Amino acid sequence: MNKLFSSIDTLNGVGIKREKFLRKLDVNTPYDLLYHIPRSYIDYSHTQPVFDIKIGENCCVRSKIIRKLSPNLTAKIEIYKALATDGEASFELTIFGHKYLFETLTDGEEYYAYGKLSQYYDKIQLIAAHIVPITAENLIQPVYPLTNGLTSNMLQTNVRESLNIAKNELSDYMPTEITEKYELCDLMTALQNVHFPVSYDGLEIARKRLAFDELLFLQLGMQFLKYNNGETTDFELKPVDMPNLFPFELTNAQKNAIAEITADLCRNIPMNRLLQGDVGSGKTAVAAYAAYFAVQGKCQIALMAPTTILATQHYNTFCDLLGKKAKICLLTALLSTKEKNAVKNQIKNGEFDIIIGTHALFQKSVEYQKLGLVIMDEQHRFGVAQRAALISKGNAPHRLVMSATPIPRTLGLVIYGDLDITIINELPKDRIPIETFAVTGKLRERAFGFIKKQLNLKHQAYVVCPAIEESEELNSVVEYCEMLSHGYFRNYRVSLLHGKLPAEQKDAVMTAFKNNEIDILVATTVVEVGVDVPNATIIMIENADRFGLSQLHQLRGRVGRGKDKSYCVLISDNPVEEVRDRLKIFSKLNDGFQIAEEDLKNRGPGDFFGKEQHGLPKLKIADIASDMELINATQTCAKEILEDDPKLEKHHALKVEVMRMTARLKS
């Protein structure tokens, strides 16, 4: 019988109590235990003489027990001690609380003790957290992710038991051509070694195999979702002549993007495309052409933006460009209920061709007559579920998602494996690179002077302060605005924009800024995404060290959007050298992709995305930041497999694993 996938309580050594703890760790079968991967390892094979260890250091000492001392049971935590020696120095081996561990020690025997060296008056103590006899088989011991009530030792016993079952029941799903080509060890060896490595080399080999598998399933799963869902769309559009919508000439990258998108729209399979381009590369123009094309094809287009400011901006742009050729509406929180209902009715009746809005677009009450194209701007701001909600409003509509968050290529391959990607790798040709300065608060006055110069040239400026709800030590944006408008910039028009303002007011301020009725916009990061005012040529960012580099790049992208030279001033009084270096590096880089790589190096993928969802399941073994090589290898491997066997009919065992992963992707 199949024991590996039966309930965890059937495993030897798992009683009712243990079962409860294991389930807390999401371990429900012996199989799950195999993939409960150690968090780290304790290495008993590298011992040090006590004389070489500094007080306070973690270390492993080969310790011979001279004599066990009588325990102190009156202390808050029971203290167990033994007199021990490493051959040269004698010391007290001290154990807090673990009576059981203490009882395993025998006078005269030798052990490896792992812990922290400390000093208590004139006595040297080794506060031991882990002790194993020197006869122990595995000198590199796993440390598991735990929950209260479990110890790594307990888990080890259970894992060993599962491994024993696996030896009989688990077969390797990976074809030998692949293990040979990519130099992978077999599955059983990998599992055995990831839990109980005999050496670090062995551990590395095991990790490589398991990470390879995980990344391969992920990529196969993504490709599967992309090609095998069998959807067809009702909107197989016909090619049309494209007029010149803009006063400027499109860049070649924009032209290519439009060509790729329109080709997609002429197929009966729904488009699923990511349009990625650095800030200011002109993605909106591409979206406008896509929308125009779809309007000619007689379908409705929904364009969703993450903020009202951005939705309104798009609405205005689209009205200017396409107002005569299409009926366009704006659906945001700005409308009254009555207005909303009227608009919703017209959407339902098919009276509007292009519907622009925020999250309002996918509410239950919104129905479309013939939604054929869904466009999402700044898509990383939307969760996977929100994307799906909007898409479900049509019958397999085409999808275009746009993002200025430059995902490093390798990461993009993983995250957007289910999307086709078009990259705009070119800025409009009249752009002059933005000049960036990273300075301390001492130079603030000078920066103000610099801003004044720009204002006197009839340009506009942004001053960005961190959000108002943050702690007091940060410059509160409200006070800051007061300070500027009554002080240095009293002869200029200074206005405030922050997230807590009512939507109408935000909109009014933004419109005024756009119409050049405001000289300086003091703002929180609400201006971060998408805002487009080409006449603004300088942005000053206070407490710049609080932002990630990619976010700084987004903020900086608010300027340099026209043909005039633009500037960015970063102010930070953070004295930490790495922080200063980070800002210095940033001030020399202008390419969003390079900056993203830098950011990823500094912060890792979790922080890189912050709270934003990217729909990727949590990986157990692989690390998308550091396993770049494996990502590339698995990408190739996935392609090879699917070319020959697109439905994985010849790779049944593999398919089972891939399905497991796709289930995680969808959940």
Residue with tokens 């190096």: 601
**Ranges within 408-447 binding ligand ADP (CB under 6 A):** 428
Longest dimension (CA), the chain: 94
Looking at beta carbons only, is 94 or 379 nearer to Mg ion? 379
Least Å distance, CB 284 to Mg ion, is 5
Residue 219 has what DSSP assignment? H
Least Å distance, CB 152 to ligand ADP, is 50
Q: Does 357 bind Mg ion (CB under 5 A)?
A: no
Residue 250, binding choice from ligand ADP, Mg ion, none, Cβ under 5 to 8 Å by partner class:
ligand ADP
Residue 573 has what DSSP assignment? -
Buried b (16+ CB within 10 A) or exposed e, 527-552: bbbbbbbbebbbbbbbbbbbbbbbbb
Q: Does 406 bind Mg ion (CB under 5 A)?
A: no
R_g (Cα) of the chain, nearest Å: 31
**Ranges within 253-272 binding ligand ADP (CB under 6 A):** 254
Applying CB under 6 A, which of residues 280, 297, 412, 548 lies at the interface with ligand ADP? 280
**For residue 263, what are the contacts with CB-CB under 8 A and spacing of at least 6?**
none
Least Å distance, CB 519 to ligand ADP, is 19
Classify 149 in phi/psi space as left (phi over 0), alpha (psi -120 to 50) or beta.
Answer: left
Token pair belonging to 538: 């300088």
Looking at beta carbons only, is 270 or 530 nearer to Mg ion? 530
**Ranges within 281-300 binding ligand ADP (CB under 6 A):** 281-285
Applying CB under 6 A, which of residues 142, 277, 306, 357 lies at the interface with ligand ADP? 277
Residue 358, binding choice from Mg ion, ligand ADP, none, Cβ under 5 to 8 Å by partner class:
none
> How many of the chain's residues bind Mg ion (CB under 5 A)?
1
Looking at beta carbons only, is 317 or 574 nearer to ligand ADP? 317
Binding mask 163-202 for Mg ion (x = CB under 5 A): ----------------------------------------
Residue 29 has what DSSP assignment? S
Which string of DSSP letters, residue by residue, matches 320-361?
Answer: HHHTTTS-EEEESTTS-HHHHHHHHHHHHTT--SEEEESGGG
Binding mask 508-547 for Mg ion (x = CB under 5 A): ----------------------x-----------------
Q: Are 265 and 293 in contact (CB under 8 A)?
A: yes
What are the φ/ψ torsions at residue 399 (nearest 5 degrees)?
A: -125, 135
Applying CB under 6 A, which of residues 126, 237, 291, 404 lies at the interface with ligand ADP? 404
- State the number of CA atoms in the 13 A half-sphere of 435 facing the CB: 5
Least Å distance, CB 435 to ligand ADP, is 19
Token pair belonging to 355: 């519907």
Select from 74-82, 113-121, 459-467, 526-534 the region that touches ligand ADP (CB under 6 A): 526-534
Which string of DSSP letters, residue by residue, matches 255-296?
Answer: HHHHHHHHHHHTSSSPPEEEEEE-TTS-HHHHHHHHHHHHHH
Least Å distance, CB 286 to Mg ion, is 10
By C-alpha distance, which of 334, 259, 331 is closest to 301? 331
3-state secondary structure of 65: strand
> How many of the chain's residues bind ligand ADP (CB under 6 A)?
18
**Ranges within 549-588 binding ligand ADP (CB under 6 A):** 561
Residue 248, binding choice from Mg ion, ligand ADP, none, Cβ under 5 to 8 Å by partner class:
ligand ADP
Token pair belonging to 381: 């701001």
Looking at beta carbons only, is 251 or 308 nearer to ligand ADP? 251
**For residue 271, what are the contacts with CB-CB under 8 A and spacing of at least 6?**
261, 264, 265, 373, 398, 399, 400, 420
Q: Does 250 bind ligand ADP (CB under 6 A)?
A: yes
Q: What angle do CA 543, 547, 548 make, to 5 degrees?
A: 150
Least Å distance, CB 204 to ligand ADP, is 42
Distance CA 34, CA 18 (A): 16
Residue 459, binding choice from Mg ion, ligand ADP, none, Cβ under 5 to 8 Å by partner class:
none
Residue 561, binding choice from ligand ADP, Mg ion, none, Cβ under 5 to 8 Å by partner class:
ligand ADP
Q: Rule CB under 5 A: which residues touch Mg ion?
A: 530
Q: Rule CB under 6 A: which residues touch ligand ADP?
A: 248, 250-251, 254, 277, 279-285, 404, 428, 530, 532, 534, 561
